[in-house]
Amino acid sequence: MSRDRRGVVNPVVPGSSPGATAKRNNFRTNDLSGPGTKTVRESMEETRQYIRDFDRIAETAATALALYDQMLKLHALRMNVNALWTSALTIKR
C-alpha cells in the first residue's frame, strides 16, 4: 500500500495493474488464455446466479439452516461460507 500526498492510503500496489490483479485472481480479460480460467464476465454471471438462487430459496426455506444447506447443495464450491451463513441468519430472523 502507498499513501497519496494527503496521507490517504492507496490500496493499489505500486506497479500493479488491473491485468495483474485479474491474473492473480485467475481471471482472463479476453478469450485467448488457457483452459480452466474464467472471464470476468463469466464470473459476474455466476455471482448473479448465486444471488438469484439465494433469493429464490429464501422465499421457501423455513429456517436459516435450511437456506444455508440448500445453497451449499447448489453452490458447493463457492468460497466464504461464513458470509452465506450470516446472510441466511439475517434473512430468517
List the chain domain ranges. 2-91
> What's the predicted TM-score (pTM) here?
0.60
Cell of 73: 447443495
How high is the pLDDT of residue 78? 82
How high is the pLDDT of residue 36? 63
Is it the case that residue 58 has pLDDT exceeding 90? yes
Kindly report, residue by residue over 6-52, the tens digit of the pLDDT: 665 555 555 555 555 545 555 454 454 555 667 888 889 999 999 99
Confidence of residue 4 (pLDDT cuts 50, 70, 90): low
How high is the pLDDT of residue 77? 85
Longest dimension (CA), the chain: 53
Instruction: Tell me how far the alpha carbon of residue 88 is from its chain's centroid.
Output: 16
- The Cβ of residue 68 has, within 10 Å, a number of other Cβ atoms equal to 20
- What's the DSSP call for residue 12? S
